């Protein structure tokens, strides 16, 4: 047996163990003992095979492993002759550890400590894929970081639907946790890390909570809202609003000094004998921008399938409401519509007033949105929904009328951090024919569209 074949067999053994443990809870002694020998042979700690040891604990005991987990699952482009098969065995052991800790959650009730450990392990999986912790599940880190040192992979092609699958596993863990009892105990509640799945459950249960449990629930929701708001605010601030206003003279302060232009315009004053440039005129950059008061009407479907979008868009609306000369209105609906505009500057308070779940009737939201369009050319209507409606034709006709009036109508199929969403094909095609195709995917797409409208 060649050395390459021996390494390939070791790698396959580790992956057979991974599959066996994922699909059969009973431990297979032969696979376990052989895997232990492989792990020790490549210089990894035996704790790597312990299902009760979190990746955090492993890295605390062996800090040198942290760098190996970062970018671990980003594929490398190498020819067969350049492959390091010994390194591939080590990689297989580390990959197996992360995947088992995340996807082998076991049966039965879940404690706050177990949920916290799983969230940490899921964060290591996201880091292994080149993303920030939380970036695939939705929430605090929506953008890839490429922490592994290589090119960030196309996750949609590498592992389709990985983000939603992680969210589904987390939602199942939250569902199996006795959440009310945990929230009623300040020590247990302090162990919870806010996430989209947890916030969704808290918003659903908020009317059934009281006292300490309700206070702890609100604290978790506010913490999550603040963290997501910080991420989204950075994205919004990256692009400027409005074009330069040439009618406003530049402010003559040092920070606005255009040094390159000043030197260029004064080159005729260069004294070659003294090797000195005499400046008789300074030039400054213009910073004032043309801004027209804009009205932004955000309509969000708050039915059960749109919770991630509801949370993200409520936060996003509050950020745009904080921009100068932008008048933001927020409407949430299922079978009833709720005007959340009075609370648009505080997404926490707005979310507490939502009632997640139920059916979908966009016509009740349209009845609230249409009167708000005072100047169509100066108005954008952002409608976030999967567009599975009871009365599809009448609602679409109303939306088409808004589009033809001169207002900018932006249909959005999902505004999630994972970039996944389902849209009614009937609506998708008609919006395309109308010339207002549905935006679906990452929340950055909506941020870009809104910034373009406001510019």
Q: What digits encode the pLDDT tens for the residues 86-105?
A: 889 999 999 999 999 999 88
Position 97 scores a pLDDT of 94
- Of 321, 383, 379, nearest to 347 (Cα)? 321
Q: Which CATH number fits domain 294-454: 3.50.50.60, 3.20.20.70, 3.40.50.410, 3.40.1160.10?
A: 3.40.50.410
Please give the helix or strand (H or E) that residue 411 lies within, else none.
strand 408-412
Amino acid 152: pLDDT: 47
Tell me, what's the pLDDT at 398? Answer: 95
Q: Give the 3-state secondary structure of residue 122.
A: helix
Phi, psi dihedrals of residue 244, rounded to the nearest 5°: -60, 135
**How many CA atoms lie less than 13 Å away from 217 in the CB half-sphere?**
25
Q: How much is the pLDDT for 146? A: 41
DSSP string, 379-409: EEEEEES----SSHHHHHHHHHHHHHTT-EE
Q: Using alpha carbons, list the distances in angstroms from residue 219 to 215, 222, 453.
A: 6, 5, 35
Q: 423-435 pLDDT, tens per residue?
A: 889 999 999 999 9
User: Which two structure tokens, joined as six digits, stand for 123?
Assistant: 């964060």
431 contact partners, CB below 8 Å, separation of at least 6: 411, 437, 438
Structure tokens at 187: 């020590």
Please report, for residues 185, 378, 381, 438, the alpha-carbon distance to residue 366 in angstroms, rounded to integers and kept in the order given. 43, 18, 11, 18
The whole-number pLDDT of residue 78 equals 62
Q: How far apart are CA 311 and CA 199, in angstroms?
A: 9
> Where does 272-377 show beta strands of DSSP type E?
276-277, 294-301, 326-333, 337-339
CA dist 74 and 146 (Å) reads 9
Which pairs with CB-CB distance under 8 Å and at least 24 residues apart come from 323-327? 323/236, 323/241, 323/454, 324/241, 324/291, 325/291, 325/292, 325/293, 325/294, 326/293, 326/294, 326/296, 326/454, 327/293, 327/294, 327/295, 327/296
428 sits in the region (left: phi over 0; alpha: psi -120 to 50; else beta) called alpha
Q: Residue 309 and residue 290: Cα distance in Å, rounded?
A: 31
Query: Rounded CA gap, 360 and 437, in Å?
Result: 21
pLDDT score for 421: 60
| The predicted structure's pLDDT at residue 140 | 46
Domain ranges of the chain: 3-146+158-233, 244-288, 294-454
Regions of the chain short of the pLDDT cut 50: 140-153, 155-160, 239, 290-291, 418-419
CA distances to 64, 154, 252, 325 from 243, in Å? 50, 34, 20, 14
Side-chain half-sphere of 241: how many Cα atoms within 13 Å? 18
pTM: 0.63
Give the orientation angle of helix 85-103 with respect to helix 29-41, to 10 degrees.
130
Q: Is 325 left (phi over 0), alpha (psi -120 to 50) or beta?
A: left
């Amino acid at each position: 047996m060649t050395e390459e074949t021996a390494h390939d067999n070791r790698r396959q053994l580790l992956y057979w163990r991974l599959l066996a443990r994922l699909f059969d809870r009973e431990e297979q002694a032969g696979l376990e003992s052989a895997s232990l020998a492989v792990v020790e042979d490549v210089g990894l700690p035996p704790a790597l095979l312990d299902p009760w040891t979190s990746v955090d604990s492993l890295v605390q005991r062996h800090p040198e492993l942290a760098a190996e987990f970062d970018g671990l699952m980003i594929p490398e482009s190498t020819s067969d002759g350049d492959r390091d098969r010994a390194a591939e065995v080590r990689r297989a052991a580390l990959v197996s550890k992360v995947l088992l800790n995340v996807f082998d959650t076991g049966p039965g009730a879940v404690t706050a400590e177990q949920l916290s450990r799983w969230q940490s392990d899921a964060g290591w999986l996201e880091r292994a894929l080149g993303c920030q912790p939380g970036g695939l599940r939705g929430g605090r880190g929506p953008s890839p970081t490429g922490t592994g040192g290589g090119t960030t992979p196309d996750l949609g092609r590498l592992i389709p639907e990985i983000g939603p699958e992680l969210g589904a596993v987390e939602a199942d863990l939250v569902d199996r946790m006795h959440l009310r009892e945990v929230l009623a105990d300040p020590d247990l509640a302090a162990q919870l890390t806010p996430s989209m799945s947890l916030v969704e459950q808290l918003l659903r249960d908020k009317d059934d909570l009281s006292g300490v449990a309700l206070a702890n629930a609100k604290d978790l929701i506010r913490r999550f809202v603040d963290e997501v708001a910080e991420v989204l605010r950075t994205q919004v601030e990256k692009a400027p609003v409005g074009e330069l206003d040439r009618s406003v003279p530049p402010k003559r302060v040092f920070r606005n000094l255009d040094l390159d232009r000043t030197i260029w315009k004064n080159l005729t004053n260069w004294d070659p004998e003294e090797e000195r440039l005499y400046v008789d005129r300074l030039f400054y950059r213009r910073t004032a921008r043309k801004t027209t008061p804009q009205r932004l009407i955000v309509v969000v479907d708050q039915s059960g399938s749109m919770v991630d979008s509801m949370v993200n868009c409520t936060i996003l609306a509050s950020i745009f409401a904080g921009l100068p000369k932008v008048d933001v209105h927020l409407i949430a609906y299922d079978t009833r519509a709720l005007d959340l505009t009075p609370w648009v500057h505080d997404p926490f308070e707005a979310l507490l007033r939502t009632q997640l779940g139920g059916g979908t009737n966009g016509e009740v939201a349209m009845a609230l949105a249409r009167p708000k369009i005072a100047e169509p050319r100066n108005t954008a209507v952002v409608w976030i929904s999967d567009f599975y409606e009871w009365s599809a034709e009448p609602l679409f006709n109303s939306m088409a009328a808004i589009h033809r009036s001169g207002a900018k109508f932006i249909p959005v199929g999902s505004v999630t951090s994972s970039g996944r969403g389902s849209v009614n094909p009937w609506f998708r095609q008609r919006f395309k024919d109308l010339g207002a195709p549905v935006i679906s995917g990452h929340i950055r797409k909506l941020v870009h569209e809104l910034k373009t409208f406001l510019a």
